[in-house]
Structure 1
Amino acid sequence: MINTIIFDFGDVLINLDKNASLNALKKLGLPGWSKELDDINIQFEKGKITEVQFMIEMKKMIPNASIDEIRTAWNSVLLDFPLERLEFLQKLSHKYRLFLLSNTDEIHVAKFEHKVGHTFAREFYQCFERIYFSFEIGWRKPEPEAFNYIVKKHELSMKRTLFIDDKKENTDIAASLGMHVWNLQVGEEDVTDLFMQKEIPV
């Protein structure tokens, strides 16, 4: 039986508009998503560059946009966090060890906390034994090291751990490591449907 659940954050717990940031940046003058931008994003998500360095690089690509405009556009990916998901996590936390593993950066985390408010953010964070943001640990999914970091640190049993993520490449890696997985289909399923997943021994 499962005794530990590791959650993804975006589109599993908080809703996202994954096209919003790029569309907003294009309106500011960005030609399009490029390998250079992808590399900068990955470095930022892995904590290899600071917010200031990230903004300097973004400003080079969109010279006519202000820092505030770039930050607002970057944060437009974040939508709402349904209360029922928080309440679901709070109930789960009494029965399971819960962890969060998210590919994200410090700008998005700060925006999330501001968007939902101090009380909501505190109650959310209290659901988890530990929260792992990629920019803090230096690894991001689907790198196996991101999963192994948590497993070793908390002495988790792979066969008693469930990993929930909306990206198949992430759940595939977790499954290859021996975890139970749920590749949640955004728009068709909700994380609160967990106990309807008959193939998962929860």
Structure 2
Amino acid sequence: MIDTIIFDFGDVFINLDKQASLTALKKLGLPSWNEDLEELNQQFERGKITEVQFMIGLKKLIPNASIDDLRAAWNSVLIDFPLHRLEFLELLKRKYRLFLLSNTDEIHISKFEHKVGATFAREFYQCFEKVYFSFEIGIRKPDPEAFKYIINKHDLSTKRTLFIDDKKENTDIAASLGMQVWNITPGKEDVVELFDRKILPR
């Protein structure tokens, strides 16, 4: 019997346009997503570099763009957070222990909080026993240590834990650790269908 659910954030709760940032950065002069940018992103998402260091690194790759334009391009991945998902979470928290585990950076989280407003963001965070962002804990999915960090810290039973993520490499690792998983398909499935799709019993 599942008693705990660990959720991803992007494309589970907040809708993303994963091509938007690359398209916007290309318009500013980036030839393509390259190894340097990938490394910069990975370091930023692990909290290994600061926001200032990240923006300096981005500016080196696209020297003719302004910092404001670079920030806007980086944040263009974030679309909207439908209210019905927050309402669903608020019902779910009455029955289950809920956690959030997201690969993200401080720029995106700051933008999310500004975009939805302080009240909405606070109500969202309060649905969870604990929120874990990769830039704060220094580990990214699909590193097994990201999952073990939560499991050990909260003494979770993996067989009683459901993990929901839109990336198969992440759900594969969670499954290998003994968790039940739902590899959600953005655009075709919605997290509020958790019971309708018989992933959890009503």
Q: Secondary structure at the match of 1:29?
A: coil
**Is 1:51 aligned to 2:63, yes or no?**
no
Moved over 4 A (4+): 199-202
- Indicate the SS of the match to 2:56: helix
Q: Deviations over 1:74-110 (max 9, x none)?
A: 0000000000000000000110000000000000000
- Offset at residue 201 of structure 1 (A): 5.3
Paired residue secondary structure (1:196): coil
What SS does the aligned partner of 1:15 have? coil
- Work out whether residues 2 and 201 of structure 1, in 8 Å CA contact, stay in contact via their aligned partners in 2: no
The count of aligned residue pairs is 202
Which residue of the partner structure matches residue 113 of structure 1?
A: 113
Mapped to 2, the partners of 1:128 and 1:59 lie a distance apart of 36
Aligned to 1:21: 21
> Residues 182 and 199 of structure 2 are in contact (CA less than 8 Å); yes or no, is this contact kept in structure 1?
no
Distance 2:23 2:179 in 1: 36
| Alpha-carbon distance between aligned partners in 1 of 2:77 and 2:59, rounded to the nearest angstrom | 19
Deviation at 1:197, TM superposition (A): 2.7
The residue that corresponds to 1:166 in the other structure is 166
Instruction: Say whether residues 1:3 and 2:16 are aligned partners.
Output: no
TM-score w.r.t. length of structure 2: 0.98
Q: What is the CA–CA distance in structure 2 between the aligned matches of 1:33 and 1:76, rounded to whole Å?
A: 15
The question of 1:198 aligning with 2:201 is answered no
> In 1, Cα distance between the equivalents of 2:129 and 2:199?
25
The answer for the alignment partner of 2:39 in structure 1 is 39
In the alignment, the residues of structure 2 paired with residue 15 and residue 45 of structure 1 have an alpha-carbon distance, to the nearest angstrom, of 19
| Root-mean-square deviation (Å) | 0.9
CA distance in 2, matches of 1:198, 1:54: 42
**Contact 1:105/1:134 (8 A) holds in 2:** yes
Q: In the aligned structure 2, how far is the partner of 1:136 from the partner of 1:151?
A: 17
Identity over aligned residues, as a percent?
76
Structure 2: distance between partners of 1:197 and 1:166? 16
- Whether the aligned pair in 2 keeps the contact of 1:175 and 1:181 (CA below 8 Å) is yes
Report the residue type matching 2:99 in the other structure.
F
